[in-house]
Amino acid sequence: MRKFVALSLAVMLLFVMVATAAANPVAGKKVAYIMMLPPMTIFQMWRDACADLTKALDVEFEFFFCDGEFNRWQDTIRTCATAGYDGLLISHGPGDGSYVFLKEIAEEYPDLKMVVFDTPFFADGQDQKLPGVTQLFQEDKSLVTVLLDQFVEKFGEGVRLIKVWRGPNYLSPFDRREVGWQEYEAAGKIVMAGEIQPLQDTVDSANTVAAAYLQGVNRDDVDGLVAYYDAYGQGVYNAILENDNFNGARGDVLPMAAVDLDPVDITYMLTRPDIWTAAGTTDWTLNGEIAMRLLMLQLAGEYDKIYDPASGQYGVDVVEVPGSAILAVDLKPDSTVDDLGEGVTPDTYGNLSYLSVADWMPADLIH
């Protein structure tokens, strides 16, 4: 009788283990988030969302920031692949070299799953594909054009704007944002009044370069400024704030807007909405969850459940996240990056319908 009971318990335990594995096919897997850029706040928001989701799914999670060093980024990816990670979430690979390098990794480690963010696959003069690898982007063009629209509405067509970025072929998202700028410039909607290029992807570098640049600018020759990255925006904001020719102490304020949004940006927008007037952004916490869900589905072999909110299609290998225009005048005194979907931009920011889901990974898993 005891043998029968023991056998029955063993069978029941095995059944529970099998059922649990079927309910959560990624339990026990090991993944990493590898970002080529420095750990700016928006990328930490992304990392934290990845950590929350993987914890809920019993997946081991690590993260690595490579401070803008391509060789370090490559070495980190190869080290993780060699160490037996099951999946990698890879971010901001440059246009030159990412495809060739990741193709080598995919061929050398065929069981390794990869999702890439803001990483183009380009070689031999054309876009390429890596079978089984999902590419994730924001709708970058619109993140700039929603800002340009605000300036056109205020100043009219031909508005004179300074652009802040690091030039073409530096980062894929900047190039994708530049498409919108070029279209508006070609149509005569905007005029480029100048260009600021930070030397590094940091607030301090943007501040130093912008402060020096503004010393040679006549306020009457420019209407506004657009930064392609919020770290640049923070540096520019402080440069404007510290210059009496542009902060309103002598004459009109120079208004600015930037792509992306973190808690510091909201503080600046609430403090001086006449300076930092708008942000074109996605929800960076949600972005991290979107990306990690794609990797989880790949690990589970459920590619058919990968969802693109921009097109409404499933089973795709390119996913784009729609953006939002956040206007300083629409913010509430207690607004945060966590609640902008409640009254400020309810249709886009923090929209859980953008998530790829499965029975074992519902949309509300960590919400």
Q: Angle 41-56/284-299 helices, nearest 10 degrees?
A: 40
pLDDT in tens, 325-334: 999 999 999 9
pLDDT in tens, 216-227: 999 999 999 999
pLDDT in tens, 88-141: 999 999 877 899 999 999 999 999 999 999 999 988 888 899 999 999 999 999
Domains of the chain: 11-132+284-322 (3.40.50.2300), 140-281 (3.40.50.2300)
Indicate whether 4 pLDDT > 60.
no
273 backbone φψ class: left, alpha, beta (φ>0; ψ -120 to 50): alpha
pLDDT for res 20: 47
Nearest Cα neighbor of 58 from 16, 82, 23, 34 is 23
| CA distance linking residue 103 with residue 123, whole number of Å | 11
Q: What percentage of the chain has pLDDT greater than the value 90?
A: 87
Q: Which residue has the tokens 């969850």?
A: 289
Nearest Cα neighbor of 336 from 278, 236, 274, 263 is 263
Task: Answer whether 295's CB lies under 8 Å from 113's CB.
Answer: yes
pTM, two decimal places? 0.88
pLDDT in tens, 33-76: 999 999 999 999 999 999 999 999 999 999 999 999 999 999 99
Indicate whether 206 pLDDT > 50.
yes
Task: Answer whether 175's CB lies under 8 Å from 95's CB.
Answer: yes
pLDDT for res 22: 54
Q: Which residue has the tokens 């120079």?
A: 254
- Angle (CA) 183-188-192 rounded to 5° is 80
pLDDT for res 18: 43
